[in-house]
Structure 1
Amino acid sequence: MKEFLREKDYLLETILNKGERVFLNESTIASAGADTVEVTDELTPEDKCVAVKAVKALPELPVCGVDIMIDREKGTNYVLELNSRPNIGGSLFPVVGKARNISKAIVDYYFPESICDNTKNEISKFYFNYESIVKFLKSGVVEEVVVPPMPSENSVIKKMTVSGKVQRVGFRKWVYDRAVDRRLNGYVKNLKNKNVFIVVAGDKERVQQFIDTIKEDTPKKMNVKTVDEEEWNKPVKMGFEIRNTSSHIKKVRKKLNAEKEKNKELVHQKKQTKKKLDSIEQSKSWRYTLPLRNVVKTFKRD
């Protein structure tokens, strides 16, 4: 920056005239301090065509950023480079111009069934566990994960509170199997009052079959007394799972964490004691008294 200013006959101590504008560097990269200007509306059909053709030259790129140098006076339009990991921050938060939600456009392109109707302020009813998918891909165990399609518009979401003999009899596992068989989404968990809470989402007809099965067709070792059924308005994660909220497991986990903390403290004390011992053994007084300690040891053995 100093070199750049010096070339323009400026120093850090230079006092600018009122209204004078001075650039600190010639970089056009936002991360280097450049101001981003959003110019999408200024692009001509020809400009866009050049960008599209450039991307098609590398068909293996799933997402691509195109750097173009345009000279309106000369009528030239040159592609400088293609980026496999484009920086979209400049368009999301431009210093000048209208912000563009590029990330939404990318997600909507790959998952068109999840596009919300903004005119109705509609919020997507379902979402994926993105972190678990990325975990598998990064581990190298799998090379590809196929995400199931979003439920159709005919889908419903219900929440149920089931009372009766439904804990410690395998009820949650049984519910899980029934939901997975019907390709439903949601979860089941135990409540502290010995009831069971269920959220289920999917095709309207399959959800109703699932609810009827719980009400009328449970195994003999289980006894469902009541099923309170209501609409559920929160988004649901794709897939069905058993959520473990057992108080016993919570107590065990809490005790385990306490033991871990104790162990950390003991390890810390051991390190401190070892450090003190090393310091004593390396001291001059310890070395000078070594003959005397040997004599004492001899007398003790005698």
Structure 2
Amino acid sequence: MKNNEQHWLPHLSPQVVEEAKGHLLCGYTIALEGWRRGLQLTWYTDQAAPFQSMKTWYVHKPGKLFSLSSSTQTHYFFRSRGDLVSNEAVEAGGDKGETKKILLSAQVPTPKGDTFSSDVTDEAIKEFAVKLGYPLVLKPVNGSFGRGVISNISNDEDLAKALYLVRGELNEKEVIVEEYLPGKEYRLYVVGDKVVGAIERVPANVTGDGTATIRELMEAKNRQRKDNPRLVSCPIEIDDELMQKLEKEGRSLETVPGKDEVVFLREKSNISLGGDPVDRLDELSDEVKRIAIEALQAFPDFHHGGVDVITPSSDYGSDAVVLEVNPTAQIGSLLFPMKGKGRNIPSAIIDYYFPESKSQANKNRRTAFHFKELLLPLETRATISVDVPPPTSDKRYHKTLIVAGELNELEFKQGLKKAAVRMSVSGFMEAKSKHTSFFYIQSDSEEKLGQFVDYIQGEQSVQHVELFPMDHSLLFFKQGFEIREDKNQVMKDLKRLKRNMKKLQRKQSLLVGLVHSYTSTKQWGKRAYSSIKTKRVY
């Protein structure tokens, strides 16, 4: 993937979201947007009262529940979903059978089919399938991430196998059978009465170069996905479904595709299964967008969320059919597509909940908070909520430095952070080589900034300090003073800290032993003296 094929939002670079991978990404980007605008941000554990009545799941680990507050209102969020979306909408959106009923009653186009409860036999389902006509799709009523969805079932034998897998092995007794519609699949994100993002979901695939095997092309593709904040947690994995598709097409993992030959590895287009997100907001027709908006409006209090559609007869035309709706949709693939523009979904959501904050939308774009550090008190259950301090606004005075010396010493880095706090200086130190680091520092006081530079120059491990003029508006920093270094150096520092802790513990044990010995000796002396004194009396 060439870098010029993707244009991500500059204020949401991979460096900004590096602490919020996987399922933390959606909530983090929305919380960050509100926080940067000056809204009060608070993170919670699953024990917090406001979330006891909200539909949530997998929240035993913190980082998915938060609130944002202005001077006049507070709203609570679970990942990408805010409290304006009703529990009724969440329940209906999670039930594919109920979704189909609601869409049909609102005359929103959806595939022909029917829902079958657990007490309906496989034979009855097969009879319905014959009447509806092949090809078909079989999927569980409740499910996500493409689990249990079997597409392009073309005959009775394949349907029997699909029913055995879904109702038997997966134990998903309630199922939907509907017509299979070939075409391109899209995820649109709707906020209010507007589509603010749209991606084409391309099934997992590789493109041949004429020399590499499919296995080698998959490995290369997965290395590319590791550079994408959303896709890093969604590699293309080798499983039975993938192997069966290759075998069906007469291929194996060792097949060498021709140059520029595209080999699709799955029928499903889910991003979580290795699919490629490609930005299509500008290409999709107004009619497709209208259908997506009407789909959400068919539900009670469904103010924003994802809508999955397919266009059977044209790429971007007017014949969209709604497949599903998602009240808690992943927005990471809309922010970080493999091709095209990243769309500012977090900004659209904050605009909707806090319209009074629109004038602050471009504030504090270069700063963020230390996410993992903030979550520690919640992870240890020391508290049920943590308030995030307001952002450090852009300071008046700035300096960029190149510093040479033995800068990896743990004592130097610890002293540096303490000095930054003491002198009210923020910024970062970033290692460029073994003995050279780049510093960006800022402060409201030119005098304190100068004092901090003097402190650096006065350290024994520093050999040389040089001013390095550059445009500071291009730099990103987190609250306070940050030490940026690779994982190997961080591990070395942790080992050093552990060794220091063990030394302190040994010293503490020794001191405790000495105190205990001294106390015991002193008490023995008192008892001996008392005994002697008693004998003298007698």
| TM-score normalised to structure 2 length | 0.27
| TM-score normalised to structure 1 length | 0.41
